[in-house]
Amino acid sequence: MLIHLMQHGACLPKEADPAQPISPVGIDQITRSAKAMRSLGLEFDLIVASTKLRAVQTAEIIADTIGYPTRAIDTSDVFKPSAQPEKALSYIEECNRELILVVGHLPSLPRLASRLLGHSDGVQLHFSNGGLTSIEASPTLSQATLLWHLQPKHLSLMSG
């Protein structure tokens, strides 16, 4: 199973909009990341996002760019910022898909990556808006290997 993790694009501050939608900078950021994903030939059996607006908008931009049907994007509270990694792991295991993209938030994404890689919170990966992490995991999620961890600037360079 290949699990890709992405933090949503940069969003508006709560003072500007309490729903914190993705900002114009975030739209550009995610569009570049999505183009790089398309260049890499990434395809997904499932795109799932947090129920927060900025994560859903990020997932939609990616889906549009790589040819994944936006109506097939799933959402779940188990990928919200304060979500516990155990619930996210259960969700991923139960979905039984081979190629998954999870669009989520801090601090839950680093915690999820750490648990996938076999550490409670011992693996410290720096997630940035629009970055992408690829982890290969066994079907039971009992073993996993970090394949790559790309920052937005790397994806932007790859997008052309």
Which tens digits make up the pLDDT trace of 15-74? 999 999 999 999 999 999 999 999 999 999 999 999 999 999 999 999 999 999 999 999
126-158 confidence digits (pLDDT tens): 999 999 999 999 999 989 999 999 999 999 999
DSSP 8-state class, residue 73: -
Q: Do residues 42 and 29 lie in contact, with contact meaning Cβ atoms separated by under 8 Å?
A: no
Q: Which of 69, 88, 86 is nearest to 77 (CA)?
A: 88
Q: What is the CATH number of the domain that holds 57?
A: 3.40.50.1240
pLDDT digits (tens, 9 = 90+) for 85-130: 999 999 999 999 999 999 999 999 999 999 999 876 667 889 999 9
Joined tokens for residue 88: 């996210």
Q: Tokens for 42?
A: 């990434």
Q: What amino acid is encoded at 123 in this protein? A: V
How many other C-beta atoms lie within 10 A of the C-beta of residue 102? 29
Angle between helical axes of 24-39 and 53-66 (0-180°, round to 10): 40
How many angstroms separate the first and last alpha carbons of the chain? 28
> pLDDT band for position 160 (50/70/90)?
confident
Domain range enclosing 80: 2-158
Domains held by the chain: number: 1
